[in-house]
Structures are given as C-alpha cells and as structure tokens.
Amino acid sequence: MDGIKKILIATDGSDNTKAAVSYGLWLAKELGAEITALYVIDQTSFVSFPMDSSIVSVYSLLENEGKKAVDDVKAEGESVGVKVTPMVLEGSPTRKIVEVATDFDLVVLGTLGRSALSKLFMGSVAERVTRYAPCPVLVVRAKKR
C-alpha cells in the first residue's frame, strides 16, 4: 500500500458519495497521498437534444454543481490536512474516470450515484470503472438511509 501516492476520488456531489470521499481522504492522510477530486459533467444526456437556451441553462447548472462538488472535497481535505486538486471534465463519466485514472495509483468512488433510473438502463458507473480502470478501484458503499 505504500505505493499509493496519487488517489482519484470521483464524485457526483450527491450524499451517496460522501462516504467514498471521507474514506478516500482518510486513506490519503494515512498514506501521505495527494487527492484529485473529479466531477464529470455527463454530456451523454444532451447528445440527442438541440443546443437551445434551456439545454445551455441545464448545462450551466451541472457545471456549477460540479465545481461545488469538487470544492467541497477540497474543503474537507483541507480540514484533515490532505492536498486536494479539483477537476471538472465533460463527457461520459465512465470514460473520463477511466482515462484520467491512467495517472493515478487508486480510484475511489461510491456505489450509488445521482439517478437510479439511469443505472437501470445504463448500468452502474462504479461497476464499469471497476471493470476498465488501469489501476485498483476502491468502491465504497453509501451509508443506508
């Protein structure tokens, strides 16, 4: 485990990822690792829609949500003494996490994301990242409500 110096925490800003964020920060502190907090603006939702003002507004809302999500991880990291670099990208969450993971020793993410309906039709991001990531993946189960 002492080879883990760069940890990628993927977050969607939901309550379901809080346990993963906390665990990832704890692990980074224990190992002396640095964190990058990643939020991916899911563009796959917008592919079939024309780019009118309502779509631009929704996109802007998601972008702001992403910035808040990674800034929250950064603030929590600062409170426990862990350096966190925020990162917001656009694209398919699974693809972007897997692409970015090539520069990391470990990916940490939660088991539940934003939409149960999208999981039903598209599958779990956590499951696909676990399958395709080039490094180990730690999946942290969200606390029961």
Residue 27 to residue 138: CA distance in whole angstroms: 11
- pLDDT at site 114: 47
Predicted structure pTM score: 0.85
- pLDDT at site 15: 83
- pLDDT at site 62: 82
- pLDDT at site 106: 97
- pLDDT at site 122: 46
- pLDDT at site 28: 97
Domains, in order of start, for the chain: 6-140 (3.40.50.12370)
- HSE-CB for 51 with a 13 A CA cutoff: 5
- pLDDT at site 89: 95
The three-point CA angle 122-125-127 to 5° equals 100
Integer-rounded Cα Rg, in Å, for the chain is 15
- pLDDT at site 53: 60
Residue 86 to residue 44: CA distance in whole angstroms: 22
pLDDT in tens, the chain (145 residues): 459 999 999 998 888 889 999 999 999 999 999 999 999 998 766 656 565 666 567 778 888 999 999 999 999 999 999 999 999 999 999 999 999 999 999 999 997 644 555 555 445 888 899 999 999 999 998 776 5
